[in-house]
Structure 1
Amino acid sequence: MAFNWFKKISKDNPKFWETYLSHFSQDKNPEVAQRYVIFDCETTGLDFKKDVILSIGGVSVVQNMILVNDSIELFLKQDIYKKESAAIHGILKDGKEEKIVEAEAIIRFLEYIKDAILVGHHVRFDIEMINQALKRLDLGKLKNDSMDTDAMYQKFKGLQEDQHSSLDELCKLLKVEKSDRHTASGDAFITAMLFLKLKNRLSI
């Protein structure tokens, strides 16, 4: 009886979620190079329980190369609008960007990332924002492994876990030029450059 109940629940999962999960049910081919997706979310604030995603930007890295032709940029319709956060990221409620509903953005994001290792600066926040959106769809959490460029820098410099660095600080320390700062796609690209420098220095 319990098995039949579980089977019914599993069967009711949407196709896009089943497709996403299927990437983790297969053994990885050792001959296929590891794919990393460096991503960033612009949000209405820093409270993942109350705030929502405004945009998602991502770019992939394979074999120490940033693949700009394998990237994603999504803008979400704003049911919640905060003037103070718009002053930072510049995303207006009625801006010129084509906007999609949150559910469609999550579907596209999952289709893009597949089983890649997710990388970000303070990436746990961005992952939790995605997980909250998945929760609103009555789905589970992201299954991907993740890496944090702040934690990588801590390891490289032998810093304590509570000695955090901002994205701007790391750009200055590692001499990475900033462009399109405070946009999801711009921050993702900046973080990708930081990631490659740290990855090489840590010989990962």
Structure 2
Amino acid sequence: MVFDWFKKVSKDYPKFWENYLENFEQEPSELQPKRYVVFDCETTGLDHRKDVILSIGAVAVLDNALIVNDSLELFLKQDLYKTETASIHGILKEGKEEKIVEAEAIIRFLEFIKNATLIGHNVNFDIEMINQALKRLNVGKLKNDSMDTDAMYQKFKGLQEDQHSTLDELCKILKVEKSDRHTASGDAYITALVFLKLKKRLDIK
């Protein structure tokens, strides 16, 4: 009886969210390579409560290999537009890129990441931006584990938590060539290369 009552009052989630949650119900197989997804969001600013996502770039890493053909690039329709940030990311309100609404972008992002470990530089900000978009869809927060390349470098060099490094600095230190900097897909690709070098140095499986 109590279980029946719980089922009645539990929230009915949309199918896309149920599909996403199902990815975490299966036990990981030791025979399958561990999948990471390195991602980046270009946004209208740095306030996750007021700003919104303009584009999402993501690329998969399996074990120690970057899988270029397992990638994602999304551009979102811009209801909020800030000319002062457009000069940084280069995304114009009426640019040539095909743009989709936020809800569709987030659903496609969830379908891409599945239960992968999420990687980013200052990844907590990007995760919070995604979580705010999920909140607008009346569902929960991301369930994925995550790793931050800044924190990885701190660990590798024995730095204090307040000793941060920018992505540009890590590229210079680790000799990673930069291309398409300040685009979501470009930054995701660069971060993936940084991640692979740090992963090897830290002997992360």
Q: What is aligned with 2:66?
A: 66
Evaluate the alpha carbon distance shift between residue 24 and residue 180 of structure 1 in structure 2; reply closer, same or farther with a 3 A threshold.
same
Percent identity over the alignment?
Answer: 77
Letter of the 2:140 partner, please give it: G
Q: Give the length in aligned residue pairs.
A: 204
CA apart distance, 1:4: 4.5
SS across alignment from 1:40: strand
Evaluate the alpha carbon distance shift between residue 135 and residue 5 of structure 1 in structure 2; reply closer, same or farther with a 3 A threshold.
farther
Which sits farther off after the overlay, 153-162 or 1-10? 1-10
Q: What is aligned with 1:54?
A: 54
Q: Report the Cα distance in structure 2 between the residues aligned to 1:167 and 1:122, rounded to whole angstroms.
A: 9
SS across alignment from 1:59: strand
Q: Report the Cα distance in structure 2 between the residues aligned to 1:75 and 1:2, rounded to whole angstroms.
A: 46
SS across alignment from 2:160: coil
Q: Following superposition of structure 1 onto structure 2, how do residues 184-203 of structure 1 map, counting pairs within 5 Å?
A: 184-203=184-203
Q: What is aligned with 2:42?
A: 42
Q: What is aligned with 2:89?
A: 89
Q: Report the Cα distance in structure 1 between the residues aligned to 2:69 and 2:9, rounded to whole angstroms.
A: 38
Letter of the 1:12 partner, please give it: D
CA apart distance, 1:12: 2.0
Q: What is aligned with 1:29?
A: 29
Q: What is aligned with 2:159?
A: 159
User: Which TM-score applies when normalising by structure 2?
Assistant: 0.96
Q: Which runs of 5+ in 2 are unaligned?
A: none
Letter of the 1:127 partner, please give it: I
CA apart distance, 1:7: 2.3
Q: Which runs of 5+ in 1 are unaligned?
A: none
Q: Report the Cα distance in structure 2 between the residues aligned to 1:100 and 1:5, rounded to whole angstroms.
A: 39
Evaluate the alpha carbon distance shift between residue 51 and residue 9 of structure 1 in structure 2; reply closer, same or farther with a 3 A threshold.
farther
Deviations 1:78-131 (A, max 9, x none): 000000110000000000000000000000000000000000000000000000
Q: Report the Cα distance in structure 2 between the residues aligned to 1:125 and 1:5, rounded to whole angstroms.
A: 38
CA apart distance, 1:192: 0.2
User: Which TM-score applies when normalising by structure 1?
Assistant: 0.97
C-alpha RMSD of matched pairs (Å): 1.2
Q: Report the Cα distance in structure 1 between the residues aligned to 2:80 and 2:25, rounded to whole angstroms.
A: 37
